[in-house]
Amino acid sequence: MSSATPPTGTGALAKREARLAWALLSPTVISVSLVVILPLLAIFWISFKPFTLSDLRPPAPVVRESLRGSGDDLRIEYRVRNSSQDIAVTGVTLTDVLPDGVTAGEVLAPCVLDGQDLFCDFGTLEGGYRERVRIPVTLEGDPDTFEDLIEGSEPSITGSGPSVLTNFEFSLENFARVFDGDEFWGVLWVTLFYTVFGTIGALVMGLFAALLLNKSFKGQGIIRGLYLFPYVAPVIAVAFTWVTLFDPFSGSANALLVQMGLSSEPINFFGERPLALIMVTVFEIWRYFPLSFLFILARMQSIDSSMYEAADMDGASPFQKFWLLSIPQLLGILSVLFLLRFIWTFNKFDDIFLLTGGNAGTRTLTVNVYEQAFAISNIGAGAAVAVVILMCLIAFSFVFFRFISREEGL
């Protein structure tokens, strides 16, 4: 009678190996969670809250102490206010010690004075609450000296309020604001135009550059280095160069067009619709085609040359060899590059912001995130736009892997 053999992968050794593998992977999993997943969850959380830049600090009571008046009208004033305009602060108390030589007069509610110890119980301060507590005093000495003593000491104030960021009240107000009116759809159209034509243009330009350098010739290394310059150069340097080159008043491009008679007056390339959008798309193509060029050239040089030799013997034209032999071999790398470039271009912010600042019809979704979150201090609306960007990219990735990649055998 033969003994039963445990199924592969279910024995004690396999389980120990699995535990060891998870132990080795745990630092990577934790790092990815901290760097990617947690910020992503935070963006989702903020997008459902009417959260502005002023809400970064939770509501709290604020007090300012000063010596006011002169002569018999001397008084110590405590200006108490709620830092929030909407949210109440509870348990607000103020404690202070009057300096020696200061004699207080009548102290009114909600404050009491025990010797030199002042205590005020304000209870709950509603949103936007402001109050002045005035205590008449007489001074035994120079008022200027006491002014420094009084205003130099910090009274103690307590109280707290719920933070908009950490409470469990959610709202669709941010998304309603994002989708309200025609502005969002115009921004989405600009984003799609910039992304689609920028991606396709970079792939086509990279493909033709790879075709030119697929043969060995003298000076090939120098030309390859020149091709890589737009991609490796600092973006702020090349963006400034383009803005200067196409400046309508002092740009070399406008001067050349006017002198050649191609234009009767200077053209504001980055300040007119729809020319500005076309220019930033051309900049995207020029700057990022070297990445496509490198990958496509590497794939071209790995194609078996015997296919081209057989095609030459059959009398195939250069176009037929390119279309029937090269393109099928390059479809895999072209698909991967299209996916990566689409995602990167859709998320691109710095190029457009440096060239136009999102003006003249070049405002994309990423620029909209910046404007909502920082220009008008509405962090919740900015997070909502970021969530919309994520949903768009998830939808694109689903379509790509569901249909396009299947056609390419990926």
Digit-coded pLDDT (tens) for 112-138: 988 888 899 999 988 888 888 888 888
Digit-coded pLDDT (tens) for 222-232: 888 888 889 98
At which residue do the structure tokens 């901290």 appear? 34
Helix (H, G, I), strand (E, B) or coil at 68: strand
Whether the CB-CB separation of 173 and 376 falls below 8 Å is answered with no
Distance separating the N- and C-terminal Cα atoms of the chain: 48
Whether the CB-CB separation of 8 and 15 falls below 8 Å is answered with no
pLDDT, residue 374, reads 85
Whether the CB-CB separation of 49 and 171 falls below 8 Å is answered with yes
Buried b (16+ CB within 10 A) or exposed e, 54-87: ebeebbbbebebebeeeeeebbbebebbbbbeeb
List beta partners, residue 90: 160
Confidence bin at 249 (pLDDT 50/70/90): confident
pTM for the model stands at: 0.77
Confidence bin at 93 (pLDDT 50/70/90): very high
The domains of the chain, with CATH numbers, are 59-160 (2.60.40.290), 181-377 (1.10.3720.10)
Mean pLDDT of the chain: 85
For residues 399 and 387, give the distance between their C-alpha atoms in angstroms, rounded to a whole number: 18
- pLDDT of 1 > 50? The answer is no
Rounded to whole angstroms, the maximal C-alpha distance in the chain is 113
Tokens of 399: 């379509």
